[in-house]
Structure 1
Amino acid sequence: MATTEPGHLLTYDFRPLNIDDTTHINETKRSLKILQWNIERNYEPDAIITTLKKLDADVMVLQEIDIDCRRSQSRNHMLELCEALGVKGGFVCEFLELESSIRRPRDQGGGIHGNAILSKHEISFNVIDHRYHGFDWDHHGSKLREPRKGQRYSLAATVRAPDLPPVLCYCLHLEVFTGIIDRVANFSEILQYASQHTDEIPHQIICGDLNTMAHSIARLSPKYATDRYRYLSLGETESSWWDRRVFAFHEQDGPVNSRLATAGWLSRVPWFFIRHWAWLYTHASGFSMDVLKKARNPGFYDPWPVNQVTLENPDYFGLFKAKLDWTLVRCMQVLHRSRGNEDYSASDHAYLLVEVVPDDDEQVKQEYILWKERRKQWNESGLLDEKGWMMTIVVAIAIAAYFCNN
């Protein structure tokens, strides 16, 4: 049994012994294939490995990996993945999954659970601890019938492929049992970390399950939408809200992210006034000044539609669906993109695969200009269509009726 504690890093290396010899690669290339996939606790281990072998990505960013949990046959799935794929992988433990009679058989623990980054190339890892957390699993996990010890951690990995500059990759799994405020606060620490490393490694990609699902019918749930933005984001999906309020604000646009304002007009207030009336701004938005300073995009763009669904629960008349999975690219051109597992047979998430080419030195110097161009190139409107607006009205009426009756 693999023993480790939350926040600890576990690594395996099953790459060929001649890894330093580029002849083991079919041909020297200038691109990297990077995969993002939440593999749902390895409930379907054979299908997952078969899919990963077929995709043959250079870097695989995976969430929800089980080690020694009864719900997934008490197997070390991290070791099995690395061995079957012939790669080096780093796994960050997030939770000790406590075995308990209150757990459902499908959720039974007994082992550990976390996220990982795997690569066929040379790779080094760093665990990112977080200050902001949206849910206290140590004390409240039993309320969800999943007692566990630990918290959310993020994983950063520097990939050094032959004939390419280093690429800094991130693996994230944000909290689902909270709201937009806590998720953005947690994510802001990743943006700050990325910004601090852009001079050293400008080529970066954030992959992860951001659990951006606080819209549609989820607004009615006190578990999945726990703050004021369950109402204040009416009219759009959470992923669209993130695109407009977080990713559209570049760090060169100002010292605080003024787009994270509750009222639209506040986003136009100059920093001079915000600095002297910070208490009003933070009260109106719900975000601390620390988060408003950190939640500034250092140049990541999203090469997927803002409402690209990657999880669709068949319950609730198909209304429980969202874009949870993201691949956010910095200083790299996206050549190709593809998605799969659209029947959700190997996992309850679709996977996202992007092939990227790092920018050259001259392009890196033009990062801000290229960021604007690429956002325009890839961005699609996040406004709801007619059906979406009708559903928003229905949800709004349901929320009003709920409060009137209580």
Structure 2
Amino acid sequence: MTKGIIFKITLFLSSYPMLSQEGSTATFENSSNQLKVLSYNIHHANPPMHKDSIDLSAIIQVIKDSDADLVALQEIDSDTQRSGSGNQAQKIGDALGMQVFFGKSIDFQNGAYGVAILSRFPIIASKVYKLPSKPETQGEPRVLALSLIQLPDAQTIWFASTHLDSQKEDTNRILQIAELLNITTNLNQPVLVAGDFNAVANSPVIASLDSVFTRTCSSCPPTIPVENPSKAIDFIAFKPKSFFRLNNHRVIDEHYASDHLPVFANFQW
């Protein structure tokens, strides 16, 4: 590891309180500099056609089949009454041999609920940022989970998972995307952000995202509803353009496991 990377990691650790992370510490060979990214709102592993059931194995299979290196997950349960014991993201990561970072959004059913990051590469450091909302809207608290990832050639990048406000009006989402851009503006390494933005292209929210990041699609295939999908609200975006070369973007045709279709992008760096 170079002195420059050690310095950056030390500076990060000294600047922010750390949350715990669990998972494999193995590194992976990737001689082609290929990076496969998945964003998936898993609906706490509840298949829409089976209202009261949990099928985490179906989610695991979708991610396994995608062969993704980095995964941004949303709607993750941890030790809740409806989903049972254990953190869903950790269970998925353990099954796939991936490192895991969970970002709690709220306390829920004697447990927690939030977003997560999975990585085939070492997670060096992670932090959860609370995203703002106007109190009078009574919006559910939302967060940005951010991890520093070490790629196989010792290059480091930031990877973020988020789930913006779901209310009809853009009020909170506009505040939240502004805070997301503020958080990521001074990061020295390349940045990937993925998640459920609850906003469509050409909305003020996605226009703000596009002012700084490049999305992996322009005419994006729809991601919801899972049956007869009609709009895209799940996105992957990156900066700078000079680091990431996008090979392809696609929506995975999987209609059982969740109420969202997963979004996949393949890069080279």
TM-score normalised by structure 1 residue count: 0.54
Counterpart-to-counterpart distance in 2, 1:248 and 1:239: 9
- Which has more helix, going by share of residues? 1
- 3-state DSSP class of the match of 2:215? coil
Tell me the residue number matched to 1:48. 59
Higher Rg of the two aligned structures: 1
Question: Aligned ranges for residues 169-248 of structure 1 at < 5 Å?
Answer: 169-197=159-187, 200-201=188-189, 203-212=190-199, 238-242=200-204, 245-247=207-209
Tell me the residue number matched to 2:247. 335
Shift of 1:350: 0.8
- How has the CA–CA distance of structure 1 residues 78 and 245 changed in structure 2, closer, same or farther, with 3 Å as cutoff? closer
Task: Note if 1:78 corresponds to 2:89.
Answer: yes
Counterpart-to-counterpart distance in 2, 1:63 and 1:39: 6
Question: Aligned ranges for residues 3-402 of structure 1 at < 5 Å?
Answer: 9-16=19-26, 19=27, 24-25=28-29, 27-43=30-46, 44-97=55-108, 109-123=109-123, 124-130=125-131, 132-134=132-134, 151-163=141-153, 165-197=155-187, 200-201=188-189, 203-212=190-199, 238-242=200-204, 245-247=207-209, 249=211, 297=212, 300-312=213-225, 321-331=230-240, 332-340=244-252, 342-358=253-269
Shift of 1:127: 1.5
Shift of 1:207: 0.4
Counterpart-to-counterpart distance in 2, 1:178 and 1:241: 12
Q: Which runs of 5+ in 2 are unaligned?
A: 1-16, 47-54
- 3-state DSSP class of the match of 2:76? strand
Counterpart-to-counterpart distance in 2, 1:15 and 1:136: 44
- 3-state DSSP class of the match of 2:100? strand
Maintained 8 Å contact 1:87/1:119:
yes
Shift of 1:302: 1.4
Maintained 8 Å contact 1:41/1:72:
yes
Instruction: Give 1:81's aligned amino acid.
Output: I
C-alpha distance after superposition, 1:253-282 (max 9, x if no partner)? xxxxxxxxxxxxxxxxxxxxxxxxxxxxxx
Highest RCO, 1 vs 2 (Cα 8 Å, sep ≥ 6): 2
C-alpha distance after superposition, 1:186-244 (max 9, x if no partner)? 111111122111xx21x2111010111xxxxxxxxxxxxxxxxxxxxxxxxx4222488
Shift of 1:29: 2.3
Counterpart-to-counterpart distance in 2, 1:8 and 1:122: 16
Maintained 8 Å contact 1:15/1:86:
no
Instruction: Give 2:266's aligned amino acid.
Output: E
Counterpart-to-counterpart distance in 1, 2:19 and 2:184: 20
Counterpart-to-counterpart distance in 2, 1:304 and 1:182: 24
Counterpart-to-counterpart distance in 2, 1:246 and 1:115: 22
Shift of 1:337: 2.3
Shift of 1:170: 1.2
- 3-state DSSP class of the match of 2:217? coil
Shift of 1:83: 1.1
- How has the CA–CA distance of structure 1 residues 10 and 349 changed in structure 2, closer, same or farther, with 3 Å as cutoff? farther
Instruction: Give 1:14's aligned amino acid.
Output: S
Tell me the residue number matched to 2:8. none
Shift of 1:181: 2.9
Maintained 8 Å contact 1:134/1:177:
no
Shift of 1:313: 6.3
- 3-state DSSP class of the match of 1:350? coil
Q: Which runs of 5+ in 1 are unaligned?
A: 1-6, 98-108, 142-149, 213-237, 250-296, 359-406
Work out the number of aligned pairs and report it: 241
Maintained 8 Å contact 1:33/1:355:
yes
Counterpart-to-counterpart distance in 1, 2:210 and 2:194: 18
Counterpart-to-counterpart distance in 2, 1:180 and 1:94: 19
Paired-residue identity, %: 22
- How has the CA–CA distance of structure 1 residues 120 and 352 changed in structure 2, closer, same or farther, with 3 Å as cutoff? same
